[in-house]
Chains A and B, each alone.
Chain A
Amino acid sequence: GESVGLHLPTLSVQEGDNSIINCAYSNSASDYFIWYKQESGKGPQFIIDIRSNMDKRQGQRVTVLLNKTVKHLSLQIAATQPGDSAVYFCAENIGESGGSNYKLTFGKGTLLTVNP
């Protein structure tokens, strides 16, 4: 999961296993959270998002869980595939949603490696 250290956290899984990537966010007032996948040489690609009035949201093979009590976010990937290998970032919206005063603040990322 995320850390304040200089080294990128890593997670290595076998193809077909489920993956869980964790993220601790910083601002208890954040009301929107989002996960991105970034492959080498590419920009971040949207995976799934969730608002603070929910604690779980599911997409295709992915689930995001939000625990506001401990300011923790997780991304679960079911039946992980080699194509899922990438760096995964969580981001939080610090600002007023729906207005012009908002921005996404990103964590350091987690490198997911899927072994065939």
Chain B
Amino acid sequence: DAGVTQSPTHLIKTRGQQVTLRCSPKSGHDTVSWYQQALGQGPQFIFQYYEEEERQRGNFPDRFSGHQFPNYSSELNVNALLLGDSALYLCASSPQGREKLFFGSGTQLSVL
């Protein structure tokens, strides 16, 4: 049984560019959450998707957007990249209504 998978594992972009990160949830999970983890910090909640809709959002600007597909997989899009967007982006999945999250290994994004 595959866990949460994310792609790519590493990515290098320059300021102003756009990036798309992808996530496949654990089998049987229908809810996907995205987190940003800066170096030396705990994960910060970006948003959560269920039934292809954004259900909750953290304190992130509109440059951060997402999508969930009918197969429950999800994408995170970041526009107009800033240096401060450099971080590990984590995807987590859970069955709807369950707080215990299962995390992927993340995508390490570097913005130069």
Q: How many residues of B contact A (CB 8 A)?
A: 26
Query: Which residues in window 69-109 of B have CB below 8 A to A?
Result: 90, 92, 96-97, 99-106
Any chain B CB within 8 A of the CB of A103?
yes
Q: Tell me the minimal C-beta distance from A57 to chain B in angstroms.
A: 13
Interface residues of A: mostly helix, strand, loop or mixed? loop
Any chain A CB within 8 A of the CB of B24?
no
Q: Tell me the minimal C-beta distance from A26 to chain B in angstroms.
A: 12
Any chain A CB within 8 A of the CB of B58?
yes
Any chain A CB within 8 A of the CB of B27?
no
C-alpha spacing A45/B3, complex, angstroms: 11
Given A103-B33, A103-B48, A103-B56: A41 in contact with B105 (beta carbons within 8 A): yes
Chain A residues, CB < 8 A from B106? 42-43
C-alpha spacing A66/B40, complex, angstroms: 25
Chain B residues in the interface with A (C-beta under 8 A): 4, 33, 35, 40-45, 48, 50, 55-56, 58, 90, 92, 96-97, 99-106
Chain B residues, CB < 8 A from A99? 97
Q: Tell me the minimal C-beta distance from B34 to chain A in angstroms.
A: 11
Query: Which residues in window 1-53 of A have CB below 8 A to B?
Result: 6-8, 32, 34, 36, 41-46, 49
Which one of A42, A44, A104, A108 contacts B45 once the chains associate, using CB atoms below 8 Å?
A104
C-alpha spacing A107/B43, complex, angstroms: 8
Which one of A7, A8, A100, A103 contacts B96 once the chains associate, using CB atoms below 8 Å?
A100
Can you show 18 pairs from A to B with CB atoms below 8 A apart? Answer: A7-B40, A8-B40, A36-B103, A43-B4, A43-B105, A44-B103, A49-B99, A89-B42, A89-B43, A99-B97, A101-B56, A103-B33, A103-B45, A105-B45, A106-B35, A107-B42, A108-B41, A109-B42
C-alpha spacing A36/B97, complex, angstroms: 19
| Given contact pairs A43-B105, A105-B45, a sample of 9 additional A-B residue pairs in the complex whose CB atoms are under 8 Å apart | A42-B106, A43-B104, A46-B100, A49-B100, A89-B42, A99-B97, A102-B97, A106-B35, A109-B42
Chain B residues, CB < 8 A from A42? 105-106
Any chain B CB within 8 A of the CB of A59?
no
One of A68-76, A77-85, A90-98 contacting the partner: A90-98
